[in-house]
Every structure is written in structure tokens, then in C-alpha cells.
Amino acid sequence: MNLFNIVPQNYFSIFQGKNREIYIESLSILYSLLQNDETFIRKVDFLNALKDREKDLSLLDLTEEEISDEEKENLKNDYNNSSKASYIVRKLEECGWIDISMDIDNYEEIVILPPYSISLLKTFSDIVSDEESPYISLVHSTYSELKLEDEDMDELLYPTLLRCYENTKKLKVELITLTHSIRIFQNKLSKLFDTNEVLHSYFDIYKRKISDRYYHPLKTFDSVAKYKRPIIKILNHWLETKEIREKLIFQASINSKSNNKKEIEADIIEKINYISDTYETLNSLIASIDKENNAYTKSSTQKILYLNNADHTVKGHLENIFKHYANKINEPRELAKVLSKMQDSFTLYEQGYLDSESVSLPIMRKYKEIGEPMEIQDFSDIDDYLKSSFLEETSNMYTDEKIYSFMEREFGRSREITTEDFNIENFDELICLILATVKSEDENSFYKIDEIYPNAGIITNYFLIPNVTFIRKEKEKENK
């Protein structure tokens, strides 16, 4: 891929030099005009919008512009900004950002933009915009469209599959982007040396723009774990039903460039498998996001506690010096001042001592030997031991054997059971049911979850549990 086979060679030259902010502001004005109801932008409207920015045009530096001395003089004496606005439009046209065309109906000049310019202007606008775009629930929308089409199939069956395919690809990119965004905040944390900066970074930026906007929906109403199985079940049904496959092939062949039925069918199967496989493997990616989020939250908390509990001992003063040193490491002059103050602050002395043998003959000089410092007990090891002991005791109470025995007892000789068949008498059996639901995804599990009805709860012995259907894996394979 060669970008400059598409855009002109000097396309990005306007971002070099002292006038780059003026040019980017001009492009921002152009994009705002583009978002109006008019299909085309009149050149005179663009010029008037530029002339209204008198403060920006007054900062136009002509020293780096490749124009004649006469034109520079004319631009300097331009008091109504007409020449400066025209020069900016001409510069954007020369670099390939815009093109000027003539409207044959009224013979007015209009500004037209290549597709790549529109794409870049939209990207620039999204980067600098403070407005929070609404969260797009890709998982729920995929499930809703598949379910609606599965219940009432029409001529939009194949377009629905295409939208779900594109939503799945976009979901994967969004999750990867979320992982990188959290890691960016984690890296920036090491460069913050003030409590207010850490609080501002976490609550005003990260929590509002990352956590509440993307991470929270992903763990609640747009949860992958909630909709994964229904999505895969619908797609498998489409894949296994010949009539549905034929319908998909027929609809796909209408707009397809290929007339080969096998190629079209292979493409449809590939898209269905991609969606299913992606949802099967998203758990590891979401686990990585959870890990990054927990690490950043923990690091921010520890940094705030560290900055608020300043140590006033020699060790604390040294830490403050090193912290200030790290903050000024990219400023040589300020760093030199810090080093100079460090040299003036330290005075070294030689220490000795007298004992009963010091005044006797012959005089025997002794020096204090450097011994091993007393080890400070690390209580974190005790905390880790208590935590691990608790987890070990808990895991011993609810082993896989106990959970599978519980499910064997409830299944009996049945192939399929629901939570209505369970008789939960105590908390121990309730915990076994919860863990059995979690372990249904394990390879060693002899059963799996066939259907979940999240809105239908069942009360048994004062316990409210969701309506879940379990089926045996072995017997399902034998029936097939």
C-alpha cells in the first residue's frame, strides 16, 4: 500500500512550518461548512468564513511561504483579509486538499473535496471534539438483528448477515482499541507527580471517556457473555438448515460479481464461521481488558496514597529529589539547578568511637564494621498467605468432583433439565448451582447450557434463580 499513489506528494506539507495551525483551522471551517445542508460549498462562502477569522489571519507568517516578494508585500498590506483568505484557498488547492469547479447553472465557483480529504477531515474532527458520541452496542445490535431475521425471514436475510459480519469486525477493533487506551493511561501515570493530576487523569478523563463510555457497557447491557450463546445458536441454525442457506445464496447472488454458486456459498459460510469463532474467542480479549483496567485502577490508588503520605525522613527527602529529577529530566537547565542544589545539600563526615582500649598502650585503632541491616518484616507476605489459604480452603470445599456429582444427581437419567427441576434447600446447593453454570463451558463438563431466559426468574425455597436449561453433551452427540 502506497499512500502517495492516492494523495498528492505535497498533501501534508501544510502541516509543516509556522502556519500549520492556521491551515488546520481553515480545514476545520471547511468541514463545518460541509456539514450544512448544502451539497456543494460556494467558494465565496468559504472565503467569507475565512475572512471572519481576523485574529487567525493576522498571525499568518509569510517568511516560510514560497511566494514572490511582491506578493508578500501585498499580503502584508491586506487590511480586509481578502488576499490572505484567497491565498489560503489557493494553497489548499495546490496541495490537493480541495478542488475548484464551476457550477454550470449559475457560473459560480464551488469547492469540491476528494473522498480522502473528507475522511481525514472527519478524523481530525473526531480527535479534537470534546463531545462524547453515544455508545454503539455492537453485541446487542448483532443479537437483535439476527433474532429478528431468524423469527421472520425476508429479503433482507443476507444484508443482515453482512451487517452482523461488519459489526463483529468492528467490535474486535473496538476491544483492541480499548486495551491500548487503558495501557496509554497506565504509561502516563508514571509521569504524574501531583495528587490532583492523578485524580484528574483518572476521574475526569479515564472514568468519563473510557470506563463509563466503553468498559462499563461492555460488562453490563452489552455483555459478550450474555449474548454469545444465542448469537452462535442462531448462526449454527442458519448453517445447518439447507433452506436458509439456499435463501442466503440467492440473495447474495443478486449483487455478487461472481456467478459461481459454490464460491458464494463458501463466502457465506466463511462469514458465519468468522462471527461464531470471534465470539468464541472474545473471552480472552475481555479478560485482558479486565486485567489492564484493574492494574490501572490499583496503580492510580497506590500513587495517590503514596503522594498523600509523604515521608519526611531522609529517605522521604531523597525520594522527593529523585521525583523532581524525573519531572525535569527533559529540561537540561532546570535539571542543572536540581543537581547543584543536591551537591550543596549533602555534607559527609567520618565517624569514630572511643572505648576502654583506646587509651591503652599500644594504641589499637579500630573502625566500625559495616554489618547487615536488620530486616524489616514484610507484612504483605502474611496477607498473601492468608488470601491463598482462604482460596485453597474454598476450592477444597467446592471441587469439580463435588459440582459434577451435584449435577449428576440433578440430571438423574434425564437428557435435559431446567432450574425448575432443582430443589435448592441451602446456600451450599445454591453455590454448587452457580459454579455448575460457570463450569458449563469447561471441556471436562458432561453438560452444557442450551438456553438462558434472563428475564424469567424462578423462586425455590426463598432463592431467586434464573431460568436456565442444561443438556448432556454425550447424548446430544449420540443423537446426531
* pLDDT tens-digit map of 52-74: 887 777 788 777 777 777 777 77
CA distances from 316 to 8, 195, 312 (A): 57, 16, 5
pLDDT range class, residue 79, cuts 50, 70, 90:
low
Output phi, psi for 413, to 5 deg.
-105, 10
For residue 416, the SS3 value is: strand
How much is the pLDDT for 86? 87
Q: Is the pLDDT of residue 387 over 70?
A: no
Burial pattern 86-109, b for ≥16 Cβ within 10 A else e, equals: bbbbebbeebbbbeeeeeeeeeee
Single-letter code of the amino acid located at 258: S
- Tell me which H or E stretch contains 41: strand 41-42
Cα separation, 315 vs 303, in Å, equals 17
Q: Is the pLDDT of residue 280 over 60?
A: yes
How much is the pLDDT for 210? 84
Work out whether the CA dihedral 154, 227, 468, 281 comes out positive or negative: positive
Q: Is the pLDDT of residue 417 over 50?
A: yes
| Cα of 280 vs its chain's centroid, Å | 20
Cα separation, 89 vs 259, in Å, equals 48
Range 255-279 average pLDDT: 87
Single-letter code of the amino acid located at 267: D
pLDDT range class, residue 441, cuts 50, 70, 90:
confident
For residue 101, the SS3 value is: strand
CA distances from 111 to 47, 344, 410 (A): 11, 66, 73
* pLDDT tens-digit map of 129-172: 755 566 678 899 999 999 998 898 888 899 999 999 999 999 99
Residues 95, 11: contact at Cβ < 8 Å? yes
Q: Which of 48-57, 176-185, 289-298, 383-392 has the lowest mean pLDDT?
A: 383-392
Question: Of residues 264 and 342, which shows the higher confidence score?
Answer: 264
pLDDT above 90 as % of the chain: 10
Q: Is the pLDDT of residue 480 over 60?
A: no
Range 374-394 average pLDDT: 65
* pLDDT tens-digit map of 357-378: 666 665 556 666 677 777 766 6
Q: Which of 92-101, 217-226, 234-243, 316-325 has the lowest mean pLDDT?
A: 316-325
pLDDT above 70 as % of the chain: 81
How much is the pLDDT for 479? 45
Question: Of residues 457 and 79, which shows the higher confidence score?
Answer: 457
Q: Is the pLDDT of residue 384 over 80?
A: no
How much is the pLDDT for 454? 65
Mean residue pLDDT across the chain = 81
Range 427-451 average pLDDT: 83
Cα separation, 33 vs 113, in Å, equals 12
Cα separation, 309 vs 55, in Å, equals 47
Q: Is the pLDDT of residue 447 over 60?
A: yes
pLDDT range class, residue 431, cuts 50, 70, 90:
confident
Please provide the size of the chain in residues.
480
How much is the pLDDT for 476? 44
Q: Is the pLDDT of residue 272 over 90?
A: yes
Range 221-247 average pLDDT: 90
Residues 30, 120: contact at Cβ < 8 Å? no
Range 184-204 average pLDDT: 85
* Grid cell in block for residue 76: 502584508
Output phi, psi for 416, to 5 deg.
-140, 135
